[in-house]
Amino acid sequence: MTAPKQKAEVLDGAGLDRALTRIAHEIVEQAGGADLALVGIKTRGETLAGRIAEKIAGIEGQRPAVGALDITLYRDDLGSRAEQPQVRSTEIPFPLKNMTVVLVDDVLFTGRTIRAAMDALMDLGRPRVIRLAVLVDRGHRELPIRPDYVGKNLPTSRKESIAVMLHEHDGQDRVVIQESPEE
């Protein structure tokens, strides 16, 4: 399989950081002082949640609780693939009751991942409210899911894909659109 062809850079390192800063402010404003938790969806959502938590610490003087969620066991496409997807562990070391939980993911696409994440959260406890923060919303929703905080809206065609690179994983911070065949 050939590497996907990069078409355009959508966010550079600085742009990405500004987007996260704005999201952090929006989360704090809407939370209004309530108990806040960020739950990042593995793998890059977890990294983004960590960064947003740092920024919130800078704004409020207090870091919100941060957890990481692996949604593999809640996927709606298990059993229709030749191999089972790899299961990673979930780490949410705080009770969810009465919490304002903000789910954090890198790209919002069909909405199925978020649906799975909500089912997982419900099995783990009963948050007071769940909100959604994504770095990129690329459209093409297949379920009635909408984000509360968006870094960048990016209409794409189905033939394209979004690559979010973060220096913790990929050595650099940027977001690009790629031409690639559907899996």
Under rule CB under 8 A, residue 123 binds other proteins = yes
Q: Which two tokens stand for residue 142?
A: 């297949």
Which residue matches tokens 């966010």?
Answer: 11
CB of residue 144 vs other proteins: minimum separation in angstroms? 20
Q: CA 57: distance to chain centroid?
A: 19
Please identify, among the stretches 2-10, 16-24, 67-75, 150-158, the one whose residues bind other proteins according to the rule CB under 8 A: 67-75
Under rule CB under 8 A, residue 62 binds other proteins = no
Under rule CB under 8 A, residue 59 binds other proteins = no
Q: Which two tokens stand for residue 141?
A: 């929703």
Q: Which two tokens stand for residue 133?
A: 């923060």
Nearest to 7 by CA among 162, 181, 165, 173: 162
Question: Which DSSP letter does residue 88 get?
Answer: -
Compose the 73-112 pattern: x for residues touching other proteins by CB under 8 A, - for all others: xx---xxxxxxx-xxxxxx---------------------
Please identify, among the stretches 52-60, 122-130, 142-150, 175-183, the one whose residues bind other proteins according to the rule CB under 8 A: 122-130
Nearer to other proteins, 67 or 147 (CB): 67
Nearer to other proteins, 29 or 77 (CB): 77
Nearer to other proteins, 29 or 83 (CB): 83
Nearest to 66 by CA among 32, 27, 29, 30: 27
Please identify, among the stretches 48-56, 123-131, 156-164, 168-176, the one whose residues bind other proteins according to the rule CB under 8 A: 123-131
Q: Enumerate residues 6+ apart whose C-beta is below 8 A from 15.
A: none
Distance CA 153, CA 111 (A): 15
- Write out the residues near other proteins by the rule CB under 8 A: 70, 72-74, 78-84, 86-91, 119-120, 123-125
